[in-house]
Amino acid sequence: MAKRVIRTDSDPLLRKTSKEVSKFDDRLKILIDDMFETMDEAPGVGLAAPQVGILKRVIVVDDREEENRKRMCMINPVITRKEGEDCDIEGCLSVPLKQGSVKRATDIDVEYMNLQGEKKSLNARDYFARIIQHEVDHLDGILFTDKAIDIYIPKEAKR
């Protein structure tokens, strides 16, 4: 495993649409392992492949603050249902020193593939739903700042 460089919002690659994964091989496994390591060291709760310079539809997520922790990779994720709405604060590893209020669905269904290429589906709510929506946006070249109602520099970043 290796920590990869996280690209920041000035990088035009982050504005491109990622391609679907069709090969489930050792290279994909290495990418996912590296993404988990990069996310953990950052530290973050989600990371999309474009953030490390790879235009593939791959995300890793970890709702480490929740009681029933979910840590997983999602390949070719598609959100098939969205319900409810909540506005909450988001930040992003690719948008350092900024946060903003973003409206997101509170209850989603997502279909994806696992590392073995098997189709899976998942219902996610609240914080975990927010993480998934944020990371799927990255796959379509969307940053949280595009959806934020307001953007600010948090007090702890001003020190």
Is 135 an annotated catalytic residue?
yes
- What is the 3-state secondary structure of 19-56? ECCCCCCHHHHHHHHHHHHHHHHCCCCEEEHHHHCCCE
pLDDT reading at 81 higher than 80: yes
Residue 83 confidence (pLDDT): 98
pLDDT reading at 23 higher than 90: yes
User: For 109-139, what is each residue's pLDDT tens digit?
Assistant: 999 999 999 999 999 999 999 999 999 999 9
Mean pLDDT rounded to a whole number for the chain: 94
Average pLDDT score over residue span 26-35 = 97
Does 106 belong to an annotated binding site? Answer: no
Q: Of 67, 90, 135, 156, which one is the catalytic site residue?
A: 135
Residue 65 confidence (pLDDT): 65
Does 138 belong to an annotated binding site? Answer: yes
Does 92 belong to an annotated binding site? Answer: yes
Q: What is the DSSP letter of 141?
A: T
Q: How far apart are CA 111 and CA 97, in angstroms?
A: 32
